[in-house]
Amino acid sequence: MKRIMLLAALLTAAQAQAADDEPLRLDDLTITTATRTATTVDESLSTITVYTRDDIERSQADRLTDVLRFVSSLDVVRTGGPGQQTSLFFRGSESNHTLVLIDGVRMNPGTIGTPAVQNVPASMIERIEIVSGPRSSLYGSDAIGGVINVITRSDGAGGDFEARAGGDNAQRIAANAGFAQDGWSLRGGVDTQRTGGIPTRSFTTEDRGYENDAFNVTLQRTFDRGSVSIRHLQADGITEYADFFGTPVSQDFENSVTALQWQQQFTAGWDSTLIVSRNVDEIAQRESPDFVESTRTSVDWQNTLKVNDAHTVVAGVLLFNESAQTLSFGSGFDEDTDLTAVFVQDQYRNGRFDAIASLRLTDHDAFGNELTWNGAVGFDITPTLRVQAGGGRAFRAPDATDRFGFGGSPDLEAEISEQWQATGIWKPADNWRLSLELFSNDIEDLIDFDFATFTLQNISEAEIRGAELRGVWTADGWNVAFGIVNQSVENAETGARLLRRSEQSATLDVTRDFSDTLDASLTVRADGDREGIGGARLAGYVLVNTGLRYRINERWQVSANIENLLDADYESAADFRSQDRRTSVGLRYSW
């Protein structure tokens, strides 16, 4: 009832504040994830993928994972249908080597390391910024394969309401609204999703459903040279699945991120941002007393100083305390983790030459101190041809389950990654761009199960080598983007391929605006084979999604899409089913 009252208030206020949204040009889009400062995709020395609000609406995605699965450098592995546990393998690294942020705040829990990205509704996302490669020097643990920053919808007047229905008894109702007046702004949204689901295991026949009720709200006060805001995003619901033996079971979940943020421009060249946040990640089994809970309180203070026209320095400090508790089959743990980190970065730009260097010292009570770094340089050979090169050292701290769960070892060391990449970018015109990046990643002290001692130990190493070709072309209502990845992902000691990651993948995203009222989209992903748990070899597959939107008038819109158009029968994880062909339709009202 509280969520309904909140939505009603926002809808009423926003109707008087409605305004037309101007479309965003990607070249002009300000991003922050790669350097923690405002920059553009073209100015960055990193490989970046950006999904805007318009991209997300065109995809007709229900959840964050529906968007991420068509990123060529990401392997999105789901253990069943919509809402089931989802893992992200970024450029061949482990599933707990991708850091996910919500508005710059860490989402990864301290228990099992993998964030619940399957529970983030797409309706609440304004933009997704995806940065490839190591970023521990800016964000700390887990940022080995890359960083995904989910920017929620927090600004702007007006709003929208959408209802969707589709196969497997899937239903979604979502609404967002906001208003702004006299320096105050308020925006919020609700999203309710239901699906009957599919049988999650290859050897079961009973459908396992999913329910997710989510809401978010942001209140902001803007001053002459600063602002104060408070925001909260929460998702809770029920996930049904089948356990190892195929027995139908279910669990309650709750994921939330709350943040109080203060921004202040002290001088023309000095900006300061302070974020105090709290994260909660909970899972409670419905058929047993087992549970997993992680609660983290963080203080992140960043200062950006523009020294001169060439140098911009960023420095900051991070403090956090994390409490992790579990109970599984009658045993568990209750542990606290404290962390302190300081970092500094210098960006240099002078004509055709760019450079960046960053350094971070982390004091983690699980393993002590860790020094991480990033560095990159870029040079414009001609106005249309650019080369970049860089590297970095990143780490992942062992989580509480690694240290105190089944087979855990309190003396585990951090997993360490050293990476290098070289990139060539060709941009012969404003409407198209090609890039080729070669990358290398050596990961040491990987945590693996030692059958000699029946405990987790730092006994494995990984060697990843690869290349990624990307292109974008736009003209006359067409927008075409593609990505091709070829990589070798091996255990450095045995030469065996690492599990659940394909070594070849390709994506294609085509959209066409036929008129002011009609547009269509086609997204394709092709993956090569991969190794499954237990020695199973999982065949490659091709996924095709297509969508159509028709604007009846400036407020009303109807849409339809087909997921897995070719009805591919595939597994991204051994013995887990994947979604077959599914059609959905939607009705949207905006103001």
Helix-then-strand count for the chain, H and E: 5, 31
Q: What's the rounded Cα separation, in Å, for the pair 464 and 461? A: 10
Q: What's the rounded Cα separation, in Å, for the pair 551 and 559? A: 9
What CATH fold (topology level) applies to the domain 2-590?
Answer: Maltoporin; Chain A (2.40.170)
Q: What's the rounded Cα separation, in Å, for the pair 262 and 257? A: 16
Q: Residues with Cβ < 8 Å from 103, sequence gap 6 or more?
A: 149, 150, 151, 152, 154, 231, 257, 259
Say which DSSP state 576 is in: B
Residue type, 252: D
Tell me the pTM.
Answer: 0.94
In contact, 474 and 432? CB cutoff 8 Å = yes
Instruction: Please state, in angstroms and as integers, the Cα–Cα distance from residue 336 to each residue in 205, 319, 361, 403, 420, following that order.
Output: 41, 13, 20, 12, 34
Coil/strand/helix, residue 442: strand
What pLDDT shows up at residue 452? 87
Coil/strand/helix, residue 64: helix
Q: What's the rounded Cα separation, in Å, for the pair 464 and 488? A: 6
In contact, 140 and 189? CB cutoff 8 Å = no
Query: Hey, what are 238's tokens?
Result: 């029920």
Q: Residues with Cβ < 8 Å from 364, sequence gap 6 or more?
A: 141, 337, 339, 370, 397, 414
Closest C-alpha to 444, from 405, 418, 421, 467: 418
In contact, 323 and 303? CB cutoff 8 Å = no
What pLDDT shows up at residue 149? 98
In contact, 147 and 33? CB cutoff 8 Å = yes
What pLDDT shows up at residue 154? 87
Q: What's the rounded Cα separation, in Å, for the pair 292 and 456? A: 19
H/E stretch holding 11: helix 2-15
Q: Where are the domains of the chain?
A: 2-590
Closest C-alpha to 91, from 543, 441, 524, 494: 441
- pLDDT (tens, 9 = 90+) of the chain, 591 residues, equals 434 333 343 333 333 333 333 334 445 677 899 999 998 877 789 999 999 999 999 999 999 999 999 999 999 999 999 999 999 999 999 999 999 999 999 999 988 878 999 999 999 999 999 999 999 999 999 999 999 999 999 887 899 999 999 999 999 999 999 999 999 999 999 999 999 999 999 999 999 999 999 999 999 999 999 999 999 999 999 999 999 999 999 999 999 999 999 999 999 999 999 999 999 999 999 999 999 999 999 999 999 999 999 999 999 999 999 999 999 888 899 999 999 999 999 999 998 999 999 999 999 988 889 999 999 999 999 999 999 999 999 999 999 999 999 899 999 999 999 999 999 999 999 899 999 999 999 999 999 988 888 999 999 999 999 999 999 999 999 999 999 999 999 999 899 999 999 999 999 999 999 999 999 999 999 999 999 887 889 999 999 999 999 999 999 999 999 999 999 999 999 999 999 999 999 999 999
What pLDDT shows up at residue 12? 37
Let me know how long the chain is.
591
What pLDDT shows up at residue 28? 60
